[in-house]
Amino acid sequence: MSFEIPTISYNGVIRQITVGKEPNCVTVGGESCYPFYLFEGAMPHLPRIAMEVYDAPPEDWPQAALEPFADVVHDPAAWAQKCVGSYGAEMIALQLASTDPNAQDTPAEKAVEVTKKVAAAINVPLIVWGSGNLEKDKEVLRMISERCAEETLLLGPVEEGSYKALGAASLAYQHTIAASTPIDVNLAKQLNILLGNLGVPDDRIIIDPTVGALGYGLEFCYSVMERDRMAALTQEDERLQFPIVCNLGKEVWKIKETRLSEEEAPLLGDPLKRGVLLEAMTALLFLLAGGDIVIMRHPDAIQLVRGLMNELMGEGV
């Protein structure tokens, strides 16, 4: 008897979602198989890497992360241009970290201004990510949604506590939203149902499953993403058939291992290599779990992940 490779029977397909505005848009999703199981199905769109840009100069970044952007950290628009121009970013993720009431508490109007500037400076899709403070995000993202109506943004995080306000804003101004839930399949599904009930069309939802860095709970996030994908592709769970975005750069570069200097932790080796590898490995693992968009920071890490991704796609390095 000849050997037959067991195959999985899929009955679902991930929705294809287009982010951004013609002609600078990018489509993600569309998978009909587990990530990179190209022998069983198709991945019509390669996962995309978005590069981070911050709305205010970062104060506590390790040298390794700061170094490539040292000349542009004071100007988000120039920063974004550098990412696209010098590092070939396919998307930009504007992190509005300074709007957090526990940080600088930058007012929403200011965030709108920055968003407009960055959007005007680039010709790739723009992701705008709030600080994670629920009430402030509602105010900030809602205003951005209204005032930047001419852009088609990907806005996140949209949580259970803010889905009505931000879902409605997405409806009115045609933005895509990142539906964010704390590492749980059922909660992710529930939020997608709620967004659907609100009237948000299915082609404007991307799942943010919440991610952690390698060594900091990654495996839990990994298995939740895996289960998201299993439910979507093999269990006909229609409310989970959405692409996934992983906002991981900021997670990786805040862990101790990326921040200690060589003197502080001689056993951990070169801090640059260490940080880059941690970020690249985190990103790769999330791609293997089903990530469609990964938000990353360091150009070298991005380079590594691109290479690996191409190899997985069978396209050589």
Partner 1 sequence: MSKIICSAAIRGAHKIVQRAEAEYQAAMEKWGPDQEIGFPNTAYYLPIIYGILGIGVKKLKDAKDVLDRCRSLLPDMVAEHVWLPYLAPALEAGMATFFAEEIIEAIRYLESPDYYTRTEGPADGNIWLGAADDVILRKRGVEFVDGTAPGFAAILGAPPTKEIAVQLAQELQEKNLYVFMCSDHEGRKMSELLVEEGVQIGWPTRLVSFGPEYTAAVFAMGFATRVAMSFGGIKPGDFTGNLIYNKDRVFAFAMPLGTVTDEWYANAAGAINWSFPTIADTPIPEILPTGICTYEHVVSNVPYDQLVSKAIEVRGLKVTVSEVPVPVSFGPAFEGERVRKDDLYLECGGPKSQAVEWVTTRDMDEVEDGKIELFGPDVDDVEEGSRLPLAIVCEFAGRKMEEDFEPILERQIHHFVNHTQGLMHIGQRDITWIRMSKAGRAKGLKLKHIGSVLHAKFHQEFGAIFDKVQIKLYTEQEKVRESVEEAKRSYEYRDARIEGMTDETTEMFYSCTLCQSFAPSHVCIISPERTGLCGAYNWMDCKASYEINATGPNQPVEKGECLDPKLGQWKGCNEFIYKASRGAIDHYSLYSLMHDPMTACGCFECVAAVLPICNGVMTVDRDYAGMTPCGMKFTTLAGTIGGGLSTPGFMGHSKYNITQKKWISADGGIKRLVWMPKSLKEEIGHRLKESSERVGIPELLDMIADETVGISEEEILPFLEEKGHPALSMDPILE
Query: Contact between 103 and partner 1 (CB under 8 A)?
Result: no
> For residues 18 and 104, which CB has a smaller minimum distance to partner 1 in the complex?
18
Query: Contact between 70 and partner 1 (CB under 8 A)?
Result: no
Pairing of strands 26-29, 16-19: antiparallel
Which of 62, 76, 132, 167 touches partner 1 (CB under 8 A)?
167
> For residues 26 and 194, which CB has a smaller minimum distance to partner 1 in the complex?
194
Which residues, numbered 139-158, are part of the site for partner 1 (CB under 8 A)? Answer: 142, 146, 149
Q: Where are the alpha helices (DSSP H) in 41-184?
A: 63-66, 76-87, 108-121, 134-147, 163-173
Which of 66, 77, 171, 265 touches partner 1 (CB under 8 A)?
171
Are 174 and 159 spatial neighbours (Cβ–Cβ below 8 Å)?
no
Give min distance, CB of 287 to partner 1, in A. Answer: 22
In sequence order, the β-bridge partners of residue 16 are 29
Query: Contact between 169 and partner 1 (CB under 8 A)?
Result: yes
Number of other CB atoms surrounding residue 57 within 10 Å: 16
Query: Contact between 186 and partner 1 (CB under 8 A)?
Result: yes
How many helical (H) and strand (E) elements, i.e. helices and strands, does the chain have? Answer: 11, 10
> For residues 78 and 195, which CB has a smaller minimum distance to partner 1 in the complex?
195
The H or E element spanning position 294 is: strand 293-296
Give min distance, CB of 101 to partner 1, in A. Answer: 18
The H or E element spanning position 303 is: helix 299-312
Which residues, numbered 232-291, are part of the site for partner 1 (CB under 8 A)? Answer: 235, 237
Query: Contact between 8 and partner 1 (CB under 8 A)?
Result: no
Q: How far is CA 242 from the centre of its chain?
A: 13
Give min distance, CB of 6 to partner 1, in A. Answer: 17
Which of 214, 231, 277, 284 touches partner 1 (CB under 8 A)?
231
Cis geometry, peptide bond prior to residue 101 (ω within 30 degrees of 0) = no
Q: What are phi and psi of 91, to 5 degrees?
A: -150, 155
Q: What are phi and psi of 79, to 5 degrees?
A: -60, -50
Q: Total binding residues for partner 1 by CB under 8 A?
A: 28
Nearest Cα neighbor of 64 from 238, 215, 251, 261 is 261
Query: Contact between 173 and partner 1 (CB under 8 A)?
Result: yes
Cis geometry, peptide bond prior to residue 157 (ω within 30 degrees of 0) = yes
Query: Contact between 175 and partner 1 (CB under 8 A)?
Result: no
> For residues 171 and 308, which CB has a smaller minimum distance to partner 1 in the complex?
171
Which residues here bind partner 1, judged by CB under 8 A?
142, 146, 149, 164-165, 167-169, 171-173, 183-187, 190, 193-194, 197-199, 201, 227, 230-231, 235, 237
